[in-house]
Structure 1
């Protein structure tokens, strides 16, 4: 007997370890987007799904069902064992909570393995994500990190998050650092995955005393930021980080590890080569080829990234901005902590009066 699980019921369990979600869609569907934290035990692989889909459209629904039964029957023992190894409560879902999840739940119940079926499947979950992002309250004061490339904004966010601060690391959620080199060493996420990860973060932090995130542009890699974050960026207290050039070069080398991504760095550089003065571009390219990464980064900062940096910082009122000049990222972390602490204390004093 099927036991259905509503999205509301799942949402009440989502932050516990009581329930394991299992996506029974094909590997490519799972790879494109899924519910964060889900496992993938596909009832059909990509080729099988394509074959059944063709039969469904070109022959008949009955022919598709019969072929699906043949495929499932052959793999049933291993399929059941995969579920049996997962402890605790389990819930399955497919695209719309239809044939694949229903078949899975029915087959498993015959083997005395109890699973729930998520009503509406991934399609309903996706709608819930979009609706939630549009309606979630976000009243916490925001602190927005700005600064030239390499000034350690991500390192500052990471350090503050480890100390328990409410942080939105948008580049981590996007799987991209935003620049032409931003994908290197990362796995870029699509919009669906980004939205899901962002909602998970927002549900954790939207009532925090404050939130801190980097001043990103509207687009990061493959994803577009929601309007409410862009508004929050404009309203927040701006913190501008300034570090010496050498410290920035060192930080970029630490973040990107170009010696592990040599070819990717060269390929990315070729996409912007024509925008840089020819002699400088030639030196950057040769430095990359010779593995003189520090020199290549220094030239890229001086002749490409720094001149292109939009000094949007000047548009904010003086009371809403702070400038931090530090010799290292560690110093910058301490200074940012101090700015936030002072601002929070001042806000508390103002409320008290």
Structure 2
């Protein structure tokens, strides 16, 4: 018989050995939010879930169960095969630890495949995330990377992370670059996804003497920072990366690849077009339409992003400026500062 486990018991199992979490909800539910690292092996696809749900609401729970069993029975061989290919311990979950995970676990048990089932489903996990973020006191000192658009702040953080430095990559967690152009080529994470990933990183970094992060605004794409983290960022040591304009333009072109997303770039620009002096705005739009991306980015920086950043940066009176010719030099500058300033 399959074994029900609480969220705490599941965490202990994960710490004691490799275990694969399997979300048996529909692909759309899985995409909306899941437990990070989980696989999706659904009992129903999106249309099937909608059909069974409609029967439940409009006919009866028995009619829904009968139709659900009929649908699931037809896909049992493939369902069991996918589970049998996973050579670790396995734990299944659905929304509330209800019929889908129970049915999946029961069938697998009959086929000799042992699985655990998470009590309370992903809803219990979501409640844990909210409670943890609400109660967490983030201890590490924060070094916050600021700088004009194109200063390579995200690239710097990710290189430092590769080298083992304690980094909180908020843009990666939000899957958004934090500007009106920030979702180009990306699919931003919603708040639930963002918080599930965020809480894992915060707990991972909790015992670090310091953490490096980027000077983001309160909102990053679809995600909003918790108050305690935003305040921690505002109170941190502010580092300002200062790169030459040409270098920043090249960084932006390398990051966004606008030639592959021309229409998205034009659509995003039209959202802010009215905030830019009309003749300049027309020039930028023309450059984007003609594929003259270097010139478009240069004008955007000079007439929109740099003045906007100057106004925002005025609030930071105590800051450390790192002047560099390129990202490599900026990384060296950041390393020097975090090693020179004693941890309090």
Partner-residue secondary structure (3-state), 1:145: strand
Q: Deviations over 1:202-260 (max 9, x none)?
A: 12111101101011111010010001111111221111111111111011111111111
**What's the CA shift for 1:12?**
2.7
1:338 corresponding residue in structure 2: 336
Aligned to 1:253: 253
SS at match of 2:341: helix
Matched, 1:263 2:263: yes
Check whether the contact 1:177–1:220 (CA below 8 A) recurs between aligned residues. Answer: yes
CA–CA distance in structure 1, aligned partners of residues 173 and 295 of structure 2: 30
Q: RMSD across aligned C-alpha pairs, in angstroms?
A: 1.5
TM-score using structure 2 length = 0.96
Aligned partner of 2:187 in structure 1 is 187
Report the equivalent of 1:299. Answer: 299
Displacement of 1:170: 0.5
Partner of 1:164: 164
5+ unaligned residues in a row in structure 1: which ranges? Answer: 349-353
Q: Does structure 2 retain, via aligned residues, the 8 Å contact 1:238–1:313? A: no
> Residues 292 and 317 (structure 1 numbering): CA distance in 2 closer, same or farther, change over 3 Å?
closer
Q: Equivalents in 1 of 2:184, 2:15: separation in Å?
A: 31
Q: CA deviation at 1:311?
A: 4.0
| Structure 2: segments with no counterpart, 5+ residues | none
Contact 1:19 1:91 in 2 (8 A): yes
Closer/same/farther in 2, CA of residues 14 and 267 from structure 1, 3 Å limit: farther
Counterpart CA distance in 2 for 1:314 and 1:282 is 29
Matches within 5 A, 1:178-257: 178-257=178-257
**Number of aligned residues:** 344
Pair 272,317 (structure 1): closer, same or farther in 2 beyond 3 Å? closer
Given the superposition, is the C-alpha separation of residues 223 and 16 from structure 1 closer, same or farther in structure 2, using an over 3 Å criterion? farther
Q: Distance in 2 between matches of 1:315 and 1:300?
A: 23
Matched with 1:174 is 174
Equivalent residues in 2 for 1:12-27 (5 A)?
Answer: 12-14=12-14, 18-27=18-27
Q: Is the 8 A contact 2:138 2:229 kept in 1?
A: no
What TM-score comes out, normalization by structure 1 length?
0.94
Cα 1:153/1:17, change in 2 over 3 Å: farther
**Alignment partners' CA distance in 1, 2:55 and 2:236:** 55
For 2:304 and 2:205, the matched residues in 1 are separated by 36
SS of equivalent to 1:239: strand
* Cα pair 2:52 2:64 within 8 Å, conserved: yes
| Residue 66 of structure 2: aligned partner | 66
Matching residue within 322, 325, 328 for 1:327: 325
Report if the CA contact (8 A) 2:174-2:222 is conserved.
yes
